[in-house]
Amino acid sequence: MQIKQVNINKKDLSIYKKLIEAKKFVSTQIRRPYMITIIVLTFIILAVGMFFMNVFYEKSTYFDANYNTHVTYFRTWAKVVADDKSILLYWYPPIVKLFVAISMPVAGYAIQITTQNRLSSPSTLGYIPVSILAYVAMLMIDQGKSWLVYVFGFIFSSFIILVNYILQRQKSSNRSFKPVLIGFAISATITAVGLVIAVSRPNILNRVTIWTGELPNVYEWLKLYISMPLILICLFAFLVLSPKLKIMQRDFALAKSLGIKVNLIFWVVTVLTAIVTIATVNITSPMILLGLIIPNIVRATFNKHEPLFVFFVSIVFSLALLEVSLFLSLNYRFGPNFLMAIVSAFVLIFIMRKHG
């Protein structure tokens, strides 16, 4: 009986070793330059393909004169550019996802570097919750004054920036997790406020919004015209900061010895993060935890931490994910944040396992 048990253990051990070897082999192959290129190109093709699917795909059924059923799956070019209303309806949603993709994951990785915490992101530090609160405040005052989102957003975000800066300067062993905990507390508070508004003013905020995070966002080119330059300017600023962020990512002490003003970089990154968060929330419903999950996936998959590499690949991955989630939302009513929640669960488990 004992001999049989030993044989089973040896068999299990052999299977475990084979799984470990397979994992190492896959990891090694994925991190080769040619494989990285193939993967990135695949996601670019996916993102572009889903962009046009979101514009043209529409399943419709009609009957001819003989009552035969016909099914079509695509809109015609004439339909998607028929007038200003059609262009806004069909082109606006996939276009705004592009600007979310080039901003949130970039801001997320930059703030992870400056806070030295892989759990930092616009969501976990409270920037997205206060931006949502600013959007709700605008809805309660006047839905036609979208510029109020920027006013309230900058006011609320100033508080978040100050709190995070104070906590980041504290000299304690768990200081890097305090801003994240504060961010979760702020998120819970704002969720409670949103729930009260949804119950008392259902014409302004639907109760489902509290759980899905999908805001009643009106398509307006004006909002995109305002947010687009802000996002592009912030993206350019992040790219300019990338050489300094690269050194800070490797070693903060080295960065300080080289004369890099770490505290100033922290302030700049937090302000840029606040701006892009407000700008994206005003043009589309936020994708919760996008700035946390995607950079960590890129780093873990390819074992590369250079800001420019992570920025570029995160943008590609994010755009593909956003366009796919938009397609599911438009055609199957599958909330994009539910998709992100599924992905987030696995990534957060991985992060906690690595640092637990």
Q: pLDDT tens digits, residue range 233-274?
A: 999 999 999 999 999 998 888 888 988 898 899 999 999 999
Residue 65 lies in a domain: no
Distance of CA 85 to the CA centre of its chain: 28
SS3 53: helix
Q: Write the burial class of residue 195 (CB in 10 Å: 0-12 exposed, 13-18 middle, 19+ buried).
A: middle
For 35, the token pair is: 């494989």
Q: Which residues pair with 71 in a beta bridge?
A: 61
pLDDT given at position 355? 54
pLDDT given at position 11? 58
Q: Measured between alpha carbons, how far is 200 from 194 in angstroms, rounded to an integer? A: 10
Residue 155 lies in a domain: yes
Q: Which residues pair with 61 in a beta bridge?
A: 71
> For the chain, what is the domain count?
1
For 29, the token pair is: 């192959």
Domain containing 324 equals: 84-355
Residue 32 lies in a domain: no
pLDDT given at position 205? 66
CATH number, residue 281 = 1.10.3470.10
Residue 138 lies in a domain: yes
The rounded percent of the chain whose pLDDT value lies above 70 is 79
Residue 219 binned pLDDT confidence (cut-offs 50, 70, 90) = confident
In this predicted structure, which of 48-52, 105-109, 123-127, 226-230 has the lowest mean pLDDT?
123-127
CB-CB contact of 202 with 216 (8 Å): no
For 267, the token pair is: 């302030």
Category of 261 on φ-ψ map: left (φ > 0), alpha (ψ -120 to 50) or beta: beta
Residue 290 lies in a domain: yes
Averaged over 99-107, what is the pLDDT? Answer: 95
In the block, residue with structure tokens 């299977």 = 15
Average pLDDT, the chain: 83
Strands (E), the chain: 57-63, 69-74
The segment with the largest mean pLDDT, out of 52-61, 71-80, 97-106, 294-303, is: 97-106
Residue 92 lies in a domain: yes
Q: Write the burial class of residue 245 (CB in 10 Å: 0-12 exposed, 13-18 middle, 19+ buried).
A: buried
Q: Measured between alpha carbons, how far is 209 from 96 in angstroms, rounded to an integer? A: 20
Which sign does the torsion angle of CA 198, 130, 213, 229 carry?
Answer: positive
Residue 268 lies in a domain: yes
Residue 203 confidence (pLDDT) above 90: no
Predicted model pTM: 0.86
Residue 53 lies in a domain: no
Q: Measured between alpha carbons, how far is 227 from 95 in angstroms, rounded to an integer? A: 12
From the list 98, 80, 107, the residue with the least C-alpha distance to 323 is 98
